[in-house]
Amino acid sequence: MTTSLFQPIQLGDITLKNRIVMAPMTRSRSSQPGDVPNQIMADYYQQRASAGLIISEGTPISAVGRGYSMTPGIYTTAHIEGWKQVTQAVHAKDGKIFAQLWHVGRRSHSSISGQQPVAASAIKIPDQVFGPLPEGGFGMIETEQPKAMTQEDINNTINDFVQAAKNAIEAGFDGVEIHAAHGYLFDTFLHIESNQRQDQYGGSQQNRMRFLLETLTAVADAIGGNKVAVRLSPHVIEGFTEEDPEIVELTLAALANMVKLDLAYVHFSENISRYLEVPESFRQQVREVYPNPIMITGKLTKETAQVLLAKQYADLVAFATPYVTNPDLVERFYHNWPLAEFDADVRLTLYGGDAKGYSDYPQYKA
């Protein structure tokens, strides 16, 4: 029988009511000072709670992990209390929500994080992030030269991820997704171009995946593997200058190492920024080495998502931009109602601001 978008699925000890996931999207709506989650964020997520699963916007695990202004954190008591509003609002509508735990690595600037960015190696490439402008206000600013992480930095970061995961569970999240994609911290360890280390975290593929696997293991030990997920993007070149000839092979090897952790899911981000088309052979290779739940996101339509489920290449399918303007996306898919457009005016309200262009999109009315 073909798996439908609207079939339930079990993830660990939680049941998702359908296979449709709201993908993580940075919206920079937290309260200042302190980057605290607030009521309009609770409204925004609650409106979208008909999704089988919501993944929160990227949530920095520490100050140094921060790379975009006004993103809500998960490392202070105020953050935990703020997120409780959000998780309670989602659960009140019978929804499920994971927190995406985020360390941006070198994709940052000290004016955002308060300290020099860190990465696998002290290598900078041309890149921009959303931060404070010299003339006032916010906009895109050039990133800063990173410093190579010491063993102490790595140990501290693993501890930060563990504490952030515990904080997320305390805040009411159903689980956490560790962001290891898009040129952020873990991705700089995985890629040859950005990892020129001579220690146990550099060189061989096994060494380059070590930091990520150690972090996943530590977080799984702390809150349970079935509450932990990871996001990867082996076919996305965002955050790098060129494609990596080994990243697909390394990803498959890393997946084989993850099987024993019994993670909630592995999330593949595709078709954004600069990217390579994902060949069907890769999806087949992934299924050969990884029997546990797989999620795919990246410019999917209802039809292309259903094909991925039917071919058993994915168990969950995630949608990003359609969820900006369609809080009732599941219902629109189910009834074949038209989608509200994502246009240039919508793009202007993606980062920062208030409820306008955020939580004021209406449900469909025939």
Q: For position 1, what pLDDT does the model report?
A: 58
The DSSP-derived string for 291-312 is -S-EEEESS--HHHHHHHHHTT
With respect to residue 362, please indicate whether it lies within any of the assigned structural domains: no
Banded pLDDT at 273 (limits 50, 70, 90) = confident
CA distance 363 to 47: 9
Average pLDDT, the chain: 97
With respect to residue 263, please indicate whether it lies within any of the assigned structural domains: yes
Q: For position 240, what pLDDT does the model report?
A: 95
**Quick check: is 184 catalytic?**
yes
With respect to residue 160, please indicate whether it lies within any of the assigned structural domains: yes
Q: For position 366, what pLDDT does the model report?
A: 79
Q: Please name every residue paired with 21 in a beta bridge, in sequence order, or none if there are none.
A: 53, 318
With respect to residue 78, please indicate whether it lies within any of the assigned structural domains: yes
Task: State the CATH number of the domain containing residue 204.
Answer: 3.20.20.70
Radius of gyration of the chain (CA): 19
With respect to residue 365, please indicate whether it lies within any of the assigned structural domains: no
Catalytic residue among 68, 184, 265, 351: 184
Which of 5, 9, 1, 11 is closest to 227 using CA atoms?
11
Q: Supply the angle between the helices 210-223 and 247-258 in degrees, to the nearest 10.
A: 30
Banded pLDDT at 3 (limits 50, 70, 90) = confident
With respect to residue 164, please indicate whether it lies within any of the assigned structural domains: yes
- Total of domains in the chain: 1
pLDDT in tens, 39-77: 999 999 999 999 999 999 999 999 999 999 999 999 999
In the three-class reduction of DSSP (H, G, I as helix; E, B as strand; rest coil), residue 98 is classed as: strand
Q: For position 283, what pLDDT does the model report?
A: 98
Residue with tokens 């965002």: 238
pLDDT in tens, 288-341: 999 999 999 999 999 999 999 999 999 999 999 999 999 999 999 999 999 999
Q: Please name every residue paired with 176 in a beta bridge, in sequence order, or none if there are none.
A: 99, 228
Q: Which pair of structure tokens corresponds to residue 247?
A: 């990243």
With respect to residue 354, please indicate whether it lies within any of the assigned structural domains: no
Kind plus residue range of the DSSP H or E element containing 131: strand 128-132
CA distance 140 to 128: 6
The reply to whether the predicted model has a pTM over 0.85 is yes
Q: Domain of 42?
A: 9-347
Q: Which pair of structure tokens corresponds to residue 259?
A: 């099987």
Which of 30, 27, 41 is closest to 359 using CA atoms?
41
With respect to residue 58, please indicate whether it lies within any of the assigned structural domains: yes
CA distance 292 to 297: 17
Which of 185, 177, 164 is closest to 107 using CA atoms?
185
Which of 273, 309, 323, 59 is closest to 165 using CA atoms?
59
